[in-house]
Amino acid sequence: MKTWDIYCSAIDNFGDVGVSWRLARQLAHEFELDVRLFVDDPQVLEILCPEVSPSLPIQRVAGVQVIRWGAGLEVAPAAVVIETFGCQLPDTLISAMAAREPASLWINLEYLSAESWIEDCHGLPSPQIIGPEKRFYFPGFTEKTGGLLREKALLLKRQQFTQMDRLHFLRQLGVNPSPGSVLVSIFTYENESIVSWLETLRRDERRFHLLVPTGRISKNIQRWLGVEALAHGETHSRDQLTIQAIPFVRQEDYDLLLWSCDLNLVRGEDSFVRAQWAGKPFLWHIYPQGENVHLKKLAAFLRHYLDGVGVEAAVATERFWGDWNRQNSLQESWTAWQKHWPDLERNAEQWCSQLARQPSLAESLARFAQSWYKSRAEITPPF
């Protein structure tokens, strides 16, 4: 079980590739596994890791073999095959996984959610018409789930990230925050409610410095500023508010950006998880779904996240996060939320420590595969 294949289809944005790439690197580095990452759109991966050349069909980067996944690709499957987020594996590959000796362990790595049903479904078999034994694997926030992606040294690195390191990193990005200003990173989906927030920030008593990597929220901000584009390094000031466009940073550097800021606006799955490891207050723009399903998922996370917070701070957080995700005005809810800043900072750090007591997703996956192969040698499972 030393060989692992991870299949990833880039549906939209960076989440699928981001999670797959992070998992692949961690499995290769920390567990000394031979990992191949099959990705159908290496251009997305190049943005997260500039060493990747999208024109190459096969390349080795950061200890991982990156393979362009397209029609007709035929490879001998690994001992463990992970399909991320329900991407569809070709029948020929599935048959080859079953024919392999011993057959591959087939894992469907699902989306992250804090809902309680995750615990009931985590690790369950999914017997298919063709193919070897398949299991569903759910990342999550409790011990009954697969955990979250977290590199072994991540929190130590964060601890050792000094004020000098911060200033050096920010300078590399061309950022020179004025002393005492609140530094904010913004990586969210489009959202009209940012207009009300920017209006509120410009009139705040404190100074705010917003860092905006190229992304989907840029257009909302451009409209508010009345500019055609946000060029990298360009700074726009409106009263107490400074907005600065920064380049899209590589995956490893995104952690440094989160650690450097006082508040982080994040989205989807990967940046959402990294913001939690940063131990700083954050706002989550959850992936919008039909029938407002995402709002239930948002509430489920907040139930966990706000467990150790005072009632008023919890209510203010629910309201602020809710207003952002419903695209309501943020004027009142932001004002109420930031009053609880000390509570929010304390909670962010406590939550990070609590999560860090669980095994990481890569670790639990490696253990799962190991025990599955071991049990397979001893007993015949029902499927």
Partner 1 sequence: MKTAQDVKVNNVVLIDGSPWLVQKAEYTKSGRNSAIMKMKLKNLLTGSTTETVYKFDDKMEQVNLDQVDVTYSYKSDDMYVFMDGEYNQYELSAEDIESVIPYIVDGMTDECKAVFFQGKVISVDLPTTIVRQIDYAEGSARGDTSGKVMKRAKLSNGTELKVADFCEVGDWIEIDTRTGDYKSRAKAPV
Nearest distance in Å: CB 108, partner 1: 7
The interface with partner 1 within residues 280-299 (CB under 8 A) comprises 287, 289-291, 293
**Among 236, 5, 15, which Cα is nearest to 107's?**
5
Size of the site for partner 1 (CB under 8 A): 26
| Helices then strands, each counted (H, E), the chain | 15, 13
Among 129, 231, 311, 379, binds partner 1 (CB under 8 A): 129
Nearer to partner 1, 51 or 120 (CB): 120
Among 112, 194, 198, 348, binds partner 1 (CB under 8 A): 112
Sheet with strand 3-8: strands edge to edge: 58-61, 64-68, 34-39, 3-8, 80-84, 105-109, 134-137
From the candidates 5, 133, 151, 269, give the one annotated as an active-site residue: 269
Nearer to partner 1, 88 or 160 (CB): 88
Distance between CA atoms of residues 304 and 355, nearest Å: 11
Nearer to partner 1, 179 or 290 (CB): 290
Among 50, 57, 127, 247, binds partner 1 (CB under 8 A): 127
Nearer to partner 1, 173 or 286 (CB): 286
**Among 93, 184, 174, which Cα is nearest to 134's?**
93
Stretch of residues binding partner 1 (CB under 8 A), selected from 38-46, 122-130, 229-237, 345-353: 122-130
Nearest distance in Å: CB 261, partner 1: 26
Nearer to partner 1, 145 or 260 (CB): 145
Exposed, middle or buried: residue 175 (CB in 10 Å: 0-12, 13-18, 19+)? buried
65-71-75 Cα angle (round to 5): 45
275-to-77, 169, 214, 285, 348 alpha-carbon distances in Å: 35, 17, 18, 12, 9
Catalytic annotation on 343?
no
Among 104, 113, 191, 193, binds partner 1 (CB under 8 A): 113
Residue whose tokens read 């723009």 = 285
The interface with partner 1 within residues 216-275 (CB under 8 A) comprises 269
57 neighbors 68 (Cβ within 8 angstroms): yes
Distance between CA atoms of residues 349 and 44, nearest Å: 31
Binding mask 58-97 for partner 1 (x = CB under 8 A): ---------------------------xx-----------
Catalytic annotation on 234?
no
Nearest distance in Å: CB 110, partner 1: 6
Binding mask 136-175 for partner 1 (x = CB under 8 A): x---------------------------------------
172, containing H or E segment: helix 163-172
Helix (H, G, I), strand (E, B) or coil at 63: coil
Stretch of residues binding partner 1 (CB under 8 A), selected from 109-117, 161-169, 192-200, 243-251: 109-117
Distance between CA atoms of residues 83 and 99, nearest Å: 18
Nearer to partner 1, 161 or 287 (CB): 287
Asked if 108 is part of the footprint of partner 1 (rule: CB under 8 A), the reply reads yes
Nearer to partner 1, 111 or 341 (CB): 111
Q: Please, which contacts does 375-378 make with residues 24 or more away whose CB atoms are closer than 8 Å?
A: 376/102
366 neighbors 28 (Cβ within 8 angstroms): no
Q: Which residues are catalytic?
A: 16, 269
Residues engaged in binding partner 1 (CB under 8 A) = 11, 85-86, 108, 110-113, 117, 120-121, 124-129, 136, 269, 287, 289-291, 293, 382-383
